[in-house]
Amino acid sequence: MIVSDVTCECGAFYRRAEASSLTGHSGQFRCSCCGALVESWEKPKARVYRLVIAPERLYQHPHVPPSPLPSSPPTTPGHAPHRADAA
């Protein structure tokens, strides 16, 4: 079994498992998210694909707003933290 990863142009991420001991047939694999042709092969191979991450579930890069705090370092609290062994 040969396991490798393939990525569609839409961003969908698939894991491909190819049997090394089984003979399959030539074929092609289309993305189940966008329908694009991801791979095609002519040799008789037994391949299966599993969708790992759909493009709509990929991590987005969120816009990070500026910090509402001033740029000065944060002030430390005036009292010491409570310690259990102090009593």
- Residues near Zn ion (CB under 5 A): 8, 10, 12, 31, 33-34, 36
Q: Which is nearer to Zn ion, 33 or 53 (CB)?
A: 33
Q: In angstroms, what CA-CA distances link 69 with 8, 28, 65, 77, 79? A: 42, 55, 11, 16, 22
Least gap, CB of 68 to Zn ion (angstroms): 39
What is the smallest separation between the CB atom of 13 and Zn ion, expressed in angstroms?
10
Nearer to Zn ion, 4 or 67 (CB): 4
Tokens of 5: 């990863």
For residues 2 and 58, which CB has a smaller minimum distance to Zn ion in the complex? 58
Angstrom distance (rounded) from CA 15 to CA 19: 13
